[in-house]
């Protein structure tokens, strides 16, 4: 196993050495839809269209995974299924990237045979063999797909002690007991039987399908990795099971309170969200309300579909942006100085009123234009096909929202500047983020409900740095350093990023940190690994991807 | 907006219920646009009453029937009624178009500016909302709720000093209008909302003591409102009063449950 990992690592290192140092140019916030020439031709399945039940409107995850360890990000799509055959859908797909954002469908021969109703995906090396594996949260049994490093996956669900048959929506890996391997948090949604759906209700006086209000929530699950790719359900012992079963839709594993232990933020639909604060020894305390992350600033639970984590207030601590239902606003909670607490500052950052007509899903902070601050993108689309301005003050198909950070506020960018993709209305759900063409900026993959997967190429220029963490210590499965914090210093300025699992919506993004920079001068990096250990690199060249290996 | 909105609507209704003007009379709003209350054409009274009872589609049909008449004297008011019916349903995009047409036809029908402002605010069209509130205030009496609307716009735009001035002015106006110290329940709720938003200004500046004072005034005025209780809990927790914060949050939770049980959005 170690030999295999070492061989792959050498191959990757060789490839990286060959990567060019990109030329600097003027920052530009612009994306181009390159789906047609990307080779990705999948139309996602999520029941019928138009949707008639709640199950049909929640899905559509996707994941970026370097499954062949060749240094670029490949694409995995779990896909959905049908109400009358929820475990017999068209099946998941795997696309291999040639490194230039051109993909080949390699599902056949990959060993991937997942035909369930896939929702969220988490990526991590659960068995410590040096190759990233896939966990698929699903309506029906979840699946663990183990990567053997030879471009083949095997279903390791049963052997790993996983396979929860309930409706799981999202999952994230993290080393929550600081033993070097990846534990797993799975967010669960509601008890639902397509044959006996909840009674319909009305929204704005319009008849719509029922749920989630009134439905029975399903408790989340925390799994401890006990080694060798096997897991143990520790929900009871950890305290997770003590929470009111809620409608979980999203999860992020990260050290939110800065105490060196990995916490868990869970976005719950129409119920207070959770902040599971890690007390050590795999014991957690729910502190969402106390910390200011459970409700919006007005004291209301929100729909909380997507989760983005960034450093909006520049204090080096994670801030949390969540997307919500139409006729409500998205919410940005920024850290309170000196306290393990956050407060709703959505209006201050100009993200409130603009979002009211939109029903938001995937979202993420990234410095898309390389001007040394984090921008924000939100993908939208209603759940009710009847949504229209005259019926629900919203629309079924909706455009994305792109915000450029402009001083203290975020300013909405229009399609005239950022490209026609931003004016096109879709019923989007998930999105994953990473440098798909090797040019050093952050590209996007978007999944639409019962629609085609789209690839959006970032056309940014300017200075940048991608920081990839590697932990090759024996027995360590968290080889990407998921849950780590990276501070970059250049001149007198500092930027903070986190490498984490989860977030966006039902997506797994690139397991590295990306920085935009205002100059090409060398930078200093300070890495705080997920277990709190710090490592400083004083003189790092930019305009490249750099690998920081744990010492 | 409950108290002031109720007052505005009641005023409209009172005007509508007043003896119908003879066709020869000039519309009051047109004759004296600056300081007289808006007068609704008698032909739209039925539509307005339907809005008050929540029968919005019927109200729209009545307004459209009025518009279809030959020689309808106040097509702008009919457009206003159409817009108001959508506004009350929180269908702001639909409301906006009718308010725009209403104001094109009868720019001095001041009430349309007021509702247009809140419609635009709900649509996130902040500069336009500000202009609408300013138009309303330029044409009519200095109304607490319109000034409050300007404060909300300022808060969204992070013009903190402007927001503070607006909320303080709204509080003064509301008190001067007879809302305090002994006030009717609706008026009390309006005043409570103004204090809660003034607390937002203090929170934006990090002034916890002032925020606490305004939130305590807010919950005193409207004990059944979950929002200021929740904010008071956050403030008390940041001030180190965990027990007080827990009590305030419990009040917020209780108020929120009651609201949900009543089926309010």
* Reduced DSSP (H G I as helix, E B as strand, rest coil) percent helix, strand, coil of chain A, to 5: 10, 40, 50
Q: Are A308 and B239 in contact (CB under 8 A)?
A: no
Say if the Cβ atoms of B155 and A343 lie within 8 Å: no
Annotate A365-376 with b (16+ C-beta within 10 A) or e (fewer). Answer: bbbbbbbbbbbb
With a CB cutoff of 8 Å and minimum separation 6, the contacts of A66 are A72, A73, A74, A132
Compute, in degrees rounded to 10, the torsion defined by CA atoms A152, A155, A156, A158: -170
**Angle between the B110-122 and B92-105 helix axes, to the nearest 10 degrees?**
150
| Structural element, H or E, at residue B77 | helix B75-88
N- to C-terminal Cα separation, chain B: 15
CA distance B70 to chain A (A): 27
Question: A181: which DSSP letter?
Answer: S
Say if the Cβ atoms of A289 and B249 lie within 8 Å: yes
pLDDT score at B141: 82
Say if the Cβ atoms of B124 and A353 lie within 8 Å: yes
CA distance A507 to chain B (A): 29
With a CB cutoff of 8 Å and minimum separation 6, the contacts of B127 are none
N- to C-terminal Cα separation, chain A: 21
Residue A151, phi-psi category: left (phi > 0), alpha (psi -120 to 50), beta (remainder): left
Say if the Cβ atoms of B237 and A347 lie within 8 Å: no
CA distance B44 to chain A (A): 22
Per cent of chain B over pLDDT 90 is: 76
With a CB cutoff of 8 Å and minimum separation 6, the contacts of A59 are A46, A80, A117, A118, A119, A139, A429, A449, A506
Q: Quickly tell me which residue has 């509601």 as its tokens.
A: A190
| Average pLDDT of the residues of chain B | 86
Mutate which of A272, A296, A299 to test chain B, going by most B C-beta atoms within 10 A?
A299
Residues B74-128 have pLDDT tens digits of 999 999 999 999 999 999 999 999 999 999 999 999 999 999 999 999 999 999 9
Nearest to A433 by CA among A381, A376, A477, A480: A376
Rounded Cα distance between A245 and A271, Å, is 10
| Structural element, H or E, at residue A502 | strand A501-502
Say if the Cβ atoms of B156 and A352 lie within 8 Å: yes
Residues A344-403 have pLDDT tens digits of 999 999 999 999 999 999 999 999 999 999 999 999 999 999 999 999 999 999 999 999
For residues B211-239, give the mean pLDDT. Answer: 97
Residues A463-483 have pLDDT tens digits of 999 999 999 998 899 999 999
Q: Provide the edge-to-edge strand list for the sheet that holds A93-97.
A: A103-105, A93-97, A74-77, A62-65, A507-508
Kindly state whether A409 is in contact with chain B, defined as any CB-CB distance less than 8 angstroms.
yes
Residue A309 has pLDDT above 50, yes or no: yes
Tell me phi and psi for residue A129, to 5 degrees. Answer: -95, 5
Q: Are A410 and A319 in contact (CB under 8 A)?
A: no
* ipTM of the complex model: 0.90
DSSP-derived pairing of the beta strands A507-508 and A62-65? parallel
Per cent of chain A over pLDDT 70 is: 95
Question: A290: which DSSP letter?
Answer: H
Residues A102-122 have pLDDT tens digits of 999 999 999 999 999 999 999
Residue A245 has pLDDT above 70, yes or no: yes
Q: Are A139 and A211 in contact (CB under 8 A)?
A: no
Say if the Cβ atoms of B227 and A298 lie within 8 Å: yes
Rounded Cα distance between B210 and A514, Å, is 41
Say if the Cβ atoms of A299 and B227 lie within 8 Å: yes
> Which of B90, B200, B204 shows the shortest C-beta gap to A393?
B90
CA A87 to chain centre: 24
Q: Are A138 and A78 in contact (CB under 8 A)?
A: yes
DSSP-derived pairing of the beta strands A248-254 and A263-268? antiparallel
């Amino acid at each position: 196993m170690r030999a295999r990992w070492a061989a792959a690592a050498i191959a990757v290192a060789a490839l990286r050495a060959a990567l060019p140092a990109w030329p600097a140019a003027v920052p530009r916030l612009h994306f181009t839809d390159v789906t047609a020439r990307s080779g990705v031709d999948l139309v996602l399945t999520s029941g019928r269209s138009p949707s008639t039940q709640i199950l049909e409107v929640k899905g559509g995850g996707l994941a970026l995974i370097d499954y062949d360890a060749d240094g670029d990000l490949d694409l995995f799509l779990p896909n959905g299924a049908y109400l009358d055959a929820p475990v017999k859908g068209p099946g998941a797909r795997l696309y291999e990237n040639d490194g230039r954002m051109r993909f080949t469908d390699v599902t056949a021969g990959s060993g991937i045979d997942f035909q369930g109703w896939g929702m969220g995906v988490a990526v991590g090396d659960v068995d410590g063999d040096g190759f990233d594996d896939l966990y698929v949260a699903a309506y029906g049994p979840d699946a663990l797909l183990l990567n053997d490093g030879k471009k083949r996956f095997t279903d390791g669900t049963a052997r790993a002690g996983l396979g929860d048959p309930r409706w799981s929506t999202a999952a994230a890996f993290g080393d929550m007991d600081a033993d070097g391997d990846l534990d797993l948090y799975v967010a669960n949604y509601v008890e639902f039987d397509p044959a006996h759906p909840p009674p319909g209700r009305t929204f704005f006086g319009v008849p719509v399908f029922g749920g989630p209000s009134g439905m029975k929530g399903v408790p989340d699950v925390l799994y401890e990795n006990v080694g060798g790719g096997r897991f143990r359900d520790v929900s009871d012992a950890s305290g997770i099971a003590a929470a009111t079963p809620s409608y979980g839709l999203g999860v992020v594993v990260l050290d939110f309170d800065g105490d060196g232990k990995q916490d868990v933020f869970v976005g719950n639909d129409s119920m207070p969200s959770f902040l599971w604060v890690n007390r050590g020894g795999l014991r957690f305390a729910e502190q969402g309300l106390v910390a200011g992350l459970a409700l919006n600033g007005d004291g209301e639970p929100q729909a909380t579909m997507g989760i983005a984590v960034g450093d909006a207030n520049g204090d080096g601590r994670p801030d949390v942006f969540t997307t919500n239902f139409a006729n409500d606003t998205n919410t940005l909670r920024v850290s309170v100085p000196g306290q393990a607490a956050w407060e709703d500052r959505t209006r201050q950052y100009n993200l409130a009123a603009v979002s009211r007509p939109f029903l938001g899903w995937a979202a993420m902070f990234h410095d898309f234009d390389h001007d040394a601050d984090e921008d924000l993108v939100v993908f939208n689309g209603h759940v009710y096909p009847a949504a229209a301005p005259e019926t629900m003050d919203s629309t079924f198909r909706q455009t994305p929202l792109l915000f450029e950070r402009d001083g203290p506020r975020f300013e909405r960018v229009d399609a005239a500047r950022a490209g026609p993709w931003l004016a096109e209305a879709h019923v989007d759900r998930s999105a994953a983020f990473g440098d798909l063409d090797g040019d050093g900026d952050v590209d996007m993959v978007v999944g639409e409900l019962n629609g085609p997967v789209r690839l959006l190429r970032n056309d940014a220029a300017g200075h940048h740095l991608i920081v990839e963490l590697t932990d090759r210590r024996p027995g360590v499965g968290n080889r990407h350093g998921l849950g780590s914090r990276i501070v970059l210093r250049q001149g007198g300025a500092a930027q903070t990023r986190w490498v984490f699992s989860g977030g966006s919506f039902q997506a797994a993004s690139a397991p590295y940190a990306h920085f935009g920079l205002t100059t090409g001068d060398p930078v200093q990096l300070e890495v705080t690994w997920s277990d709190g250990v710090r490592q400083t690199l004083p003189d790092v060249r930019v305009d490249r991807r750099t690998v920081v290996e744990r010492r | 907006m409950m108290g002031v909105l109720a007052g505005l609507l009641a005023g409209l209704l009172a005007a509508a219920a007043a003896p119908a003007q003879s066709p020869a009379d000039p519309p009051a709003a047109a004759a004296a646009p600056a300081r007289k209350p808006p007068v609704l054409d008698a032909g739209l009274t039925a539509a307005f009453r339907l809005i008050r009872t929540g029968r919005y589609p019927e109200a729209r049909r009545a307004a459209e029937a009025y518009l279809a008449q030959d020689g309808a004297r106040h097509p702008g008011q009919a457009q206003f009624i159409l817009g108001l019916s959508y506004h009350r349903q929180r269908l702001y995009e639909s409301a906006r178009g009718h308010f725009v047409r209403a104001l094109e036809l009868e720019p001095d029908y001041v009430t349309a500016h007021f509702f247009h402002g809140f419609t635009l605010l709900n649509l996130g069209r902040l500069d336009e909302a500000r202009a609408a509130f300013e138009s309303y205030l330029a044409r009519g009496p200095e109304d607490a709720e319109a000034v409050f609307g300007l404060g909300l716009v300022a808060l969204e735009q992070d013009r903190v000093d402007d927001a503070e001035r607006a909320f303080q002015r709204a509080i003064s106006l509301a008190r001067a209008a007879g809302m305090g110290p002994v006030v009717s329940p609706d008026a009390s709720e309006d005043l409570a909302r103004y204090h809660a938003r003034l607390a937002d200004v203090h929170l934006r500046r990090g002034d916890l003591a002032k925020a606490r004072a305004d939130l305590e005034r807010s919950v005193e005025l409207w004990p059944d409102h979950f929002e200021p209780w929740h904010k008071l809990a956050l403030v008390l927790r940041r001030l180190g009063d965990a027990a007080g914060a827990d009590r305030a949050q419990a009040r917020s939770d209780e108020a929120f449950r009651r609201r949900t049980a009543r089926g309010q959005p």
